[in-house]
Amino acid sequence: MRKFIRPLACLAALLASCSKEARQFRAGPATGRAPAIAQSELFPGLTAPPASGPNPYEGNAHALAEGRRLYRWFNCNGCHFNGGGGIGPPLMDDQWIYGSEPANVFATIVQGRPNGMPSFHQRLNDQQVWQIVAYVRSLGKLPDAGKPPQRASEKSAARDVKSDPE
Amino acid sequence: MTAALLIGPAGSAAPEGEWHMAAKNHANTRYSALDQITIENAGRLQPAWTFSTGLVRGHEAAPLVVGGTMYVVTPYPNILYALDLARNGALKWKYEPKPTPSSQGVACCDVVNRGAAYFDGKIIYNTLDAHTVAVDAKSGREVWKTKVGDINRGESITMAPLVAKGKVLVGNSGGEFGVRGWVKALDAGSGSVAWTAYNTGPDRDVLIGPEFQPFYESDRGEDLGVKTWPPEAWRIGGGTVWGWISYDPELDLLYHGTGNPGPWNPEQRPGDNKWTAGVFARRPDTGAARWFYQWSPHDLYDYDGINENILVDLEWEGKPRKVILHPERNGYIYVLDRATGEVLAADPYAYITTTTKIDLSTGRPVHVEAKKPKLGEVVRDIAPAAPGAKDWQPAAYSPRTGLLYLPHQNLRMDQEVMEANYIAGTPFVGAEVRMYAGPGGHRGEFEAWDPIARREVWQIKEQFPVWSGTVVTAGDVAFYGTMDGWFKAVNARSGEILWEFKCGSGIIGQPITYLGPDQRQYVAVLSGVGGWAGAVVAGQLDPRDGTGALGFVNAMKDLPHHTARGGMLYVFRLP
């Protein structure tokens, strides 16, 4: 029975890169970490929200291995098994209730979801969450499955992680 | 010929044509003395009316019939519907307890509910978020609601309560979440907790006192609920009470099983792990333990001991004996003396590779070394698989035929155990499982067992596990349902199928029979596939991952090709 309570880690790189745009919108309750993400494909006034960025660890094989380890250590597998689901829904199929983009999966893990997905806000730091995101997306063979995703050349993962919020 | 006597429900004079508790009576026989439907005419059964619950998860409950009203409890969100039997099941009212949606995350094996109990003008049942509620049977108004468990510790409730001597007996689920198992007695009038008995920990918590007289040596000693565990492990050791409770008013004893120890990985909990995977006899007034017997000391395979304890009086080796008939998850049917806890017989009723026999001198199973779990190693051909040869789905006993009617499964598994990390509110298992069909390739059986001759009398093989309950009647007809949606009437003497009807979704509910206001006999059952066995359909799981739903998906990959979700009550009668 180990305790993993840690102080809140610095804001997610994503929050940093989106914060300019995000300020144009009404701020939600401050979680201090999760970027604003769209849960809908309906955009009033035809204005799509800014695209959420990639996982800073996209394509990073070490992060993927860490994500796999953490996925088991934090008992994600007790509810989702090896992606086929059980108590929680499958993570390897192409149906996503709360979105499959890295930022969506990040938010799901940190915030929890109403029908029984625990909030891991107090148990995982941002780096760990991104590592798990990489692993979760690899279950369904989504882009960060260890091979370089398309946008990797434009944005270096390392730079994203280190950038400070403005 | 078997001389079997039945115990009537104590104090409650439930008319034979009604159904006041999930198991029909305190003895848990699920036998109805109604005899209008017979071997001769069952073939002419027809649907009379239906009712949609509007829900898509597994429907395991038994409907109740009290006066001219039928009561149906749904899976989460545990709606209680009152249906007017004089008007073809027209809706009278519904009661919504609104359990917190988060409770769905701590239900190991679908968000099922196994039914309610009627007592003294109230319908009493449990909600997934670990509350017990009492609802006025006439008006549908809530009379009391008591919080009995905590979802943040992984506790939920799925079992049907039993009311005995004015006390509502309820127990927790969460054996896969590292909960500490308990049974509580609530005052039926007020809902206040009269006593709590834990199934692990020091004797004072387990309510073990001077009256405790277990039959076997290994159950005697001080604080075994602490000493048979590594330090502190009993606090998260399981021993839940999510199955059936029975009551013998003459001996004034309650009987309840206890669930598997946690985690599944046995290497993390050396010792007998008292008082998990066994059966307690307790006093209803105080909860004081009278005796205990452990089906699976130091359980290795998730063999919860919570299956029904059916109370019958048998002519045993020439003498009348008050016994418990218990089809156990480990594959043996036990006959226990219910006054003392002595095992009179334990015979295999299914394919077993994990043990060779039950040693009647010690009461302990004799294990097969090669099938014991080892850290980091896949052990193959473990039978019965984790859900056992029979899981929660309750059997019935007919005093007319002297036979036990068993819905069950024919499954084995490959299992690898690994270290489990306890984080409250998340699963605590430490095992990866893949189940598959046992010998013969069929995954389910419905069989009749003679407890005196100690042998199977007949058997019907089914493609899928028979995950429904059953009922047997004085017309010598037994009813059960299949996971691909067939509801069947069977000749209780021969096993011949007399009639079958294809329901909308797979059947995992408990059939009941009753007399309608028109004095005609009806049979009712909920269709709506799910439960642990049907999770692949109910939870829309991905069949490519055989380890899904604790490995049950591996054995049920084809179920989505045979049935779809959807809860519907079906009521049948003769034309």
**Is B315 among the residues known to form the active site?**
no
Question: Residue A51 domain-assigned?
Answer: no
Residue A93: count of CB within 10 angstroms of its CB: 18
**Chain A residues whose C-beta sits inside 8 Å of any chain B C-beta:** 1-2, 72-75, 78-79, 81-90, 92-93, 95, 114-118, 123
The Cα-based distances of B512 to B48, B49, B88, B275, B521 in angstroms read 15, 15, 17, 33, 11
Q: Give the whole-angstrom CA distance, residue A115 versus residue B96.
A: 17
Cβ-Cβ contacts under 8 Å, B425 against chain A: 118
Q: What is the mean pLDDT of residues B268-276?
A: 98
Question: Residue A68 domain-assigned?
Answer: yes
Q: What is the mean pLDDT of residues B244-250?
A: 98
Of the pLDDT bands very low, low, confident and very high (cuts 50, 70, 90), residue B214 is very high
Question: Residue A47 domain-assigned?
Answer: no
Question: Residue A40 domain-assigned?
Answer: no
Q: Give the whole-angstrom CA distance, residue A39 versus residue A24.
A: 18
Question: Residue A143 domain-assigned?
Answer: yes
Question: Residue A30 domain-assigned?
Answer: no
Q: What is the mean pLDDT of residues B286-299?
A: 98
Question: Residue A48 domain-assigned?
Answer: no
Instruction: Report strand pairing: B512-515 vs B497-502.
Output: unpaired
Is A115 in Cβ contact with B545 (below 8 Å)? no
Q: Indicate the helix (H) or strand (E) that contains A21.
A: helix A13-22
Q: What is the mean pLDDT of residues B344-368?
A: 98
Name beta bridge partners: B170: B184
User: Which residues constitute the domain of residue A109?
Assistant: 56-150
Lowest mean pLDDT among A42-46, B85-89, B363-367: A42-46
Task: Give the residue, A34 or B506, on which the prediction is more confident.
Answer: B506
Cβ pair B205, B198 in contact under 8 A: yes
Q: Which residues contact B357 (CB under 8 A, 6 or more apart)?
A: B346, B365, B366
Residues B512-563: tens digit of each pLDDT: 999 999 999 999 999 999 999 999 999 999 999 999 999 999 999 999 999 9
Question: Residue A70 domain-assigned?
Answer: yes
Instruction: Supply the pLDDT for residue A8.
Output: 32
Which CATH number is A135's domain given?
A: 1.10.760.10
Collapse the DSSP code of B554 into the 3-class scheme (helix H, G, I; strand E, B; otherwise coil) and give the result.
helix
Residues A92-116: tens digit of each pLDDT: 999 999 999 999 999 999 999 999 9
Number of domains making up chain A: 1
Å between B463 CA and nearest CA of chain A? 22
Domains recognised in chain B with CATH numbers: 4-573 (2.140.10.10)
pLDDT at B504 over 60: yes
Q: Using CB atoms, which residue from A74, A79, A93 is nearest to B542? A: A93
Q: Using CB atoms, which residue from A72, A95, A116 is nearest to B105? A: A116
The amino acid at residue B318 is: G
